[in-house]
Chain A
């Protein structure tokens, strides 16, 4: 094995088993969960803008809380969704919770509705949980003109027309704001149909789709956006509803630092290899 004997530390690092890298990243995540560090976090202007859109809505106004996330995207969408729901509860907005992707019913019932219940808000008077509705964009478009024509019953089987809160909520005109919890590009439906109907749209999105939505933010079609887990953590800090987003930021900071160091080591080793070969 003469070649292997000649290997120095850089050559070894160049051929490192990728499973070792996965173990390092997994160890960082476990460490940040077991020993929260609380690294400093500065609230970005975009998170501030998102907060100010919510702040400007008068107390008691009706709004739509649309869960267009999935179970897979919930680790990133969830902290922001929970923090927003807690903020909504504190402001006594009349809230309709629904979603156009199948996981909406599951996620809404498990994570969002309990926040309204625990705050002592009355079902049917302060909030309504409509669950999941099929039809995607077609349904979102129809809801702008006729909410009760699409949603006949809520998630629990009650007739929508019998719920006191819904007596004054018939179409997009009666809604002050749409908040979309987006892991699936669902915000685009609202930008295409609810924004032209005069309803401002804000969204908390997963990292993958941030760059696709920035043009909408620049043009004002999207009034505010929480960007990935970082935006969610910043919103938690801003509203004093500290949750999983803040601990995820410790993980993200350490894991990305480790990743940058590993990328640098890999590149140095590669350049060294090229130089040796001439």
Chain B
């Protein structure tokens, strides 16, 4: 038996330990599996993080690219948060990270989430009666959904039926999302059981 087979059997054993919590009752085995999973995940992430620091910062720095000293120092400053006296300085690299991230995201989000979506919603397709109907359904849903989410004024008068229609759309959306989530959970269950059967040589 080689290391790969042992790893496969161990994986199957841990999946069975997790399943036992649902199929039988909560025992110590499910907690052992949880702790081992968290431990190995953290270990894997730590190794990857160290590899990234070595590849992207340390190697270029010792190779003579001294401009890399700035991101390295900023990275080290993040650890200053563990001391009350120095934790203020950890906000500088955090501010930079958040600033860059927000700037990039806003640039992309404005086009992807607003401009393109407004254009697409406002454009009524005229290729077929079904396409026209589809476009109208989407337009009504968008307007109704937006009205339903207005919280700054009471939803009375003409707003009330529009908001009610919008809420129906939102409920339909949540229902679809829930149904699709069930599909994902079944896929995970399928993957787990398939792994167990493969480990014991019952399926290919």
Is B22 interfacial (CB-CB < 8 Å)? yes
- A120 beta carbon closer than 8 Å to chain B: no
Name the residue of chain A whose CB is nearest to the CB of B97.
Answer: A138
A191 pairs with B112, CB closer than 8 A: yes
Interface-side segment among B80-88, B157-165, B174-182: B174-182
Complexed CA–CA distance, A34 and B201 (Å): 11
A30-B197, A215-B117 known; A228-B108 Cβ under 8 A: no
Contact A218 B120 (CB under 8 A): yes
Closest residue of A by beta carbon distance from B60: A152
Q: Would you call A221 and B180 a contact (CB within 8 A)? A: no
Task: Find out whether the CB atom of B100 lies under 8 angstroms from the CB atom of A29.
Answer: no
* Cross-chain contact B187 with A34 (CB below 8 angstroms): no
User: A229 near B120 (CB under 8 angstroms)?
Assistant: no
- Contacts A26-B19, A220-B120; A137 near B104 (Cβ below 8 A): yes
What residues of chain A lie closer than 8 Å to B202, measured between beta carbons? 33-34
CB distance from B171 to the nearest CB of A (A): 13
* Residue interface mask A69-101, B partner, CB < 8 A = 1: 000111110100000000000000000000000
B25 to chain A, nearest CB (A): 8
Task: Provide the main secondary structure of the chain B interface.
Answer: helix
Instruction: Flag whether A241 is at the interface (Cβ < 8 A).
Output: no
Closest chain A residue to B142 by CB distance? A215
| Residue in A26, A73, A189 whose CB lies within 8 Å of B189 | A26
Task: Report the separation of the CA atoms of residues A141 and B111 in the bound assembly, to the nearest whole angstrom.
Answer: 14
**Docked CA distance A212–B190 (Å):** 24
A193 at interface, CB cutoff 8 A? yes
* Count of chain B residues with a beta carbon within 8 Å of a chain A beta carbon: 45
Per-residue CB proximity of B106-119 to A under 8 Å, as 1/0? 01110110001101
Q: How far, in angstroms, from A139 to B166 measured CA to CA in the complex?
A: 38
A208-B138 contact given A19-B23, A134-B52, A138-B100, CB 8 Å threshold: no
Q: What 0/1 readout, one digit per residue, does chain A (236-253) give for beta carbons within 8 Å of chain B?
A: 000000001000100110
- Among B187, B194, B202, find the residue whose CB has the most chain A CB atoms closer than 10 A: B187
**Taking A22-B22, A207-B181, A208-B184 as contacts, is the C-beta distance between A192 and B190 under 8 angstroms?**
no
A219 engages B116 (CB within 8 Å): yes
CA distance in complex: A102, B49 (Å): 9
Are B194 and A75 in touch, CB under 8 angstroms? yes
Cα–Cα distance between A105 and B48 once the two chains are bound (Å)? 10
Cα separation A102 to B27 with both chains bound (whole Å): 31
Residues 42-91 of A contacting B (Cβ, < 8 Å): 72-76, 78
Cβ of B191 < 8 Å from any Cβ of A?
A: yes
Residue of B nearest to A221 (CB): B116
CB proximity of A154 to chain B, nearest CB, Å: 11
> Which B residue's beta carbon lies closest to that of A195?
B112
B188 touches A132 (CB 8 A): no
Q: What is the minimal beta-carbon distance from A20 to any residue of chain B, in angstroms?
A: 10
In the complex, whether B45 has a CB less than 8 A from a CB of chain A is yes
Q: Are B176 and A252 in contact (CB under 8 A)?
A: no
Q: Is the CB of A22 within 8 A of B23?
A: yes
Q: Are B24 and A19 in contact (CB under 8 A)?
A: yes
A158 within 8 A of B: no
B101 within 8 A of A: yes
CB distance from A23 to the nearest CB of B (A): 6
Q: Does A170 lie at the interface of the complex (its beta carbon under 8 Å from any beta carbon of B)?
A: no
In the complex, what distance in Å separates the CA atom of A227 from the CA atom of B104? Answer: 28
Alpha-carbon separation in the docked complex, A25 to B19 (Å): 12
Q: Which of A105, A195, A221, A248 contacts B190 (CB 8 A)?
A: A248
Task: Show 16 A/B contacts (Cβ-Cβ < 8 Å), sorted by A.
Answer: A29-B189, A30-B193, A34-B203, A75-B188, A76-B184, A137-B104, A192-B105, A192-B108, A208-B184, A219-B120, A221-B112, A228-B187, A229-B187, A244-B194, A251-B190, A256-B182
In the A-B complex, the 4 residue pairs with the closest CB atoms: A75-B191, A192-B108, A219-B120, A76-B187
Q: Which residues of A contact B (CB under 8 A)?
A: 19, 22-23, 25-26, 29-30, 33-34, 72-76, 78, 102, 105-106, 132, 134, 137-138, 141, 152-153, 188-189, 191-193, 195-196, 206-208, 210-212, 215-216, 218-221, 228-230, 244, 248, 251-252, 255-256, 259
Known: A75-B188, A134-B52, A256-B186. 18 other contacts (CB 8 A): A22-B22, A25-B189, A26-B23, A30-B193, A33-B190, A33-B193, A33-B194, A34-B203, A76-B187, A134-B56, A138-B100, A196-B111, A208-B184, A211-B180, A212-B177, A220-B120, A221-B112, A248-B190
